[in-house]
Amino acid sequence: MKTYGKVIAESAVTAEKLAALIAALDLKPPVLIKPNWGTVECYTEADILDWTLAAIPGEKLVIESHGWARNEETLRDQPSGGLTRANLRKGNAWFLEYSGINAVLAKHHVEFLNLTEEVWAGGPPTRS
Protein backbone atom coordinates (compact mmCIF):
# COMPACT_ATOMS: atom_id res chain seq x y z
CA MET A 1 0.00 0.00 0.00
CA LYS A 2 1.31 3.47 -0.90
CA THR A 3 -0.02 6.79 0.31
CA TYR A 4 0.03 10.06 -1.57
CA GLY A 5 -1.12 12.64 0.92
CA LYS A 6 -4.61 11.46 1.84
CA VAL A 7 -4.83 9.12 -1.16
CA ILE A 8 -4.13 5.44 -0.54
CA ALA A 9 -3.19 3.31 -3.57
CA GLU A 10 -2.94 -0.46 -3.75
CA SER A 11 -2.06 -2.65 -6.71
CA ALA A 12 -2.52 -6.45 -6.37
CA VAL A 13 -5.72 -6.28 -4.34
CA THR A 14 -6.87 -9.15 -2.14
CA ALA A 15 -9.81 -9.35 0.24
CA GLU A 16 -7.44 -8.76 3.15
CA LYS A 17 -5.76 -5.73 1.55
CA LEU A 18 -9.13 -4.23 0.64
CA ALA A 19 -10.38 -4.77 4.21
CA ALA A 20 -7.28 -2.99 5.58
CA LEU A 21 -7.78 -0.10 3.17
CA ILE A 22 -11.46 0.21 4.12
CA ALA A 23 -10.63 0.02 7.83
CA ALA A 24 -8.19 2.92 7.37
CA LEU A 25 -11.10 5.04 6.08
CA ASP A 26 -12.86 4.82 9.47
CA LEU A 27 -16.31 4.82 7.84
CA LYS A 28 -19.42 5.51 9.92
CA PRO A 29 -22.72 3.83 8.97
CA PRO A 30 -24.80 4.16 6.99
CA VAL A 31 -22.34 3.77 4.11
CA LEU A 32 -23.37 4.27 0.48
CA ILE A 33 -21.43 2.12 -1.97
CA LYS A 34 -21.38 3.26 -5.62
CA PRO A 35 -19.60 0.53 -7.64
CA ASN A 36 -19.67 2.27 -11.06
CA TRP A 37 -20.72 -0.75 -13.10
CA GLY A 38 -20.21 -0.07 -16.77
CA THR A 39 -21.25 -2.84 -19.10
CA VAL A 40 -22.22 -6.50 -19.13
CA GLU A 41 -18.52 -7.41 -19.17
CA CYS A 42 -18.46 -8.72 -15.59
CA TYR A 43 -15.07 -9.92 -14.47
CA THR A 44 -14.69 -9.26 -10.76
CA GLU A 45 -17.65 -7.06 -9.84
CA ALA A 46 -19.35 -9.63 -7.59
CA ASP A 47 -16.09 -10.66 -5.90
CA ILE A 48 -14.98 -7.09 -5.20
CA LEU A 49 -18.44 -6.14 -3.95
CA ASP A 50 -18.42 -9.20 -1.68
CA TRP A 51 -15.06 -8.14 -0.21
CA THR A 52 -16.26 -4.55 0.17
CA LEU A 53 -19.50 -5.46 1.93
CA ALA A 54 -17.66 -7.87 4.24
CA ALA A 55 -15.16 -5.15 5.20
CA ILE A 56 -17.66 -2.39 5.97
CA PRO A 57 -19.34 -2.78 9.34
CA GLY A 58 -22.91 -1.72 9.98
CA GLU A 59 -25.62 -0.45 7.67
CA LYS A 60 -24.79 -0.03 4.00
CA LEU A 61 -26.61 0.47 0.72
CA VAL A 62 -25.40 -0.25 -2.83
CA ILE A 63 -26.44 2.50 -5.24
CA GLU A 64 -26.06 2.80 -8.99
CA SER A 65 -27.72 4.68 -11.82
CA HIS A 66 -29.20 3.46 -15.09
CA GLY A 67 -26.69 1.68 -17.29
CA TRP A 68 -27.67 1.65 -20.95
CA ALA A 69 -25.20 -1.18 -21.59
CA ARG A 70 -26.11 -3.40 -18.61
CA ASN A 71 -28.80 -5.56 -20.16
CA GLU A 72 -29.20 -8.83 -21.98
CA GLU A 73 -29.70 -7.13 -25.35
CA THR A 74 -26.25 -5.54 -25.14
CA LEU A 75 -24.71 -8.93 -24.39
CA ARG A 76 -26.32 -10.26 -27.56
CA ASP A 77 -25.25 -7.13 -29.52
CA GLN A 78 -28.86 -6.05 -30.04
CA PRO A 79 -30.35 -2.60 -29.45
CA SER A 80 -31.86 -2.09 -26.01
CA GLY A 81 -35.58 -1.58 -25.57
CA GLY A 82 -35.29 2.14 -24.92
CA LEU A 83 -35.27 4.44 -21.95
CA THR A 84 -38.36 3.40 -20.01
CA ARG A 85 -38.93 2.43 -16.39
CA ALA A 86 -39.91 -1.09 -17.43
CA ASN A 87 -36.73 -1.58 -19.47
CA LEU A 88 -34.63 -0.11 -16.66
CA ARG A 89 -36.09 -2.58 -14.17
CA LYS A 90 -35.75 -5.49 -16.59
CA GLY A 91 -32.11 -4.60 -17.29
CA ASN A 92 -31.30 -4.20 -13.59
CA ALA A 93 -32.89 -7.53 -12.68
CA TRP A 94 -31.04 -9.30 -15.48
CA PHE A 95 -27.65 -7.68 -14.72
CA LEU A 96 -27.79 -8.31 -10.98
CA GLU A 97 -28.53 -11.99 -11.59
CA TYR A 98 -26.12 -12.43 -14.54
CA SER A 99 -23.21 -10.79 -12.71
CA GLY A 100 -23.70 -12.72 -9.48
CA ILE A 101 -24.31 -9.50 -7.58
CA ASN A 102 -27.80 -10.59 -6.43
CA ALA A 103 -26.24 -13.46 -4.49
CA VAL A 104 -23.67 -11.13 -2.90
CA LEU A 105 -26.35 -8.64 -1.86
CA ALA A 106 -28.41 -11.46 -0.34
CA LYS A 107 -25.38 -12.90 1.45
CA HIS A 108 -24.71 -9.56 3.17
CA HIS A 109 -28.39 -8.57 3.59
CA VAL A 110 -27.76 -5.37 1.64
CA GLU A 111 -30.23 -3.61 -0.62
CA PHE A 112 -29.61 -2.22 -4.10
CA LEU A 113 -31.10 1.14 -5.08
CA ASN A 114 -31.12 2.41 -8.65
CA LEU A 115 -30.76 6.18 -8.44
CA THR A 116 -32.42 6.66 -11.82
CA GLU A 117 -35.61 5.17 -10.32
CA GLU A 118 -35.44 7.79 -7.56
CA VAL A 119 -34.93 10.64 -10.03
CA TRP A 120 -37.80 9.35 -12.14
CA ALA A 121 -40.10 9.01 -9.11
CA GLY A 122 -42.19 11.87 -10.44
CA GLY A 123 -42.37 10.36 -13.93
CA PRO A 124 -39.98 9.56 -16.77
CA PRO A 125 -37.83 12.34 -18.19
CA THR A 126 -39.19 14.48 -20.96
CA ARG A 127 -37.19 15.34 -24.03
CA SER A 128 -37.23 18.81 -25.46
Q: What is the pLDDT of residues 18-67, one digit of tens each?
A: 898 899 889 999 999 998 886 666 656 899 899 999 999 999 999 998 77
CA-wise closest residue to 117 among 87, 85, 90: 85
CA-wise closest residue to 50 among 93, 115, 110, 113: 110
Q: pTM of the predicted model, to two decimals?
A: 0.78
Whole-Å CA distances, 9 to 1, 3, 13: 6, 6, 10
DSSP state of 59: -
| pLDDT tier for residue 125 given thresholds of 50, 70 and 90 | low
CA-wise closest residue to 48 among 35, 30, 67: 35
The tens digit of pLDDT for each residue in 66-114 reads: 776 677 777 676 666 666 778 788 888 888 998 899 999 999 999 999 8
- Give pLDDT, residue 128: 42
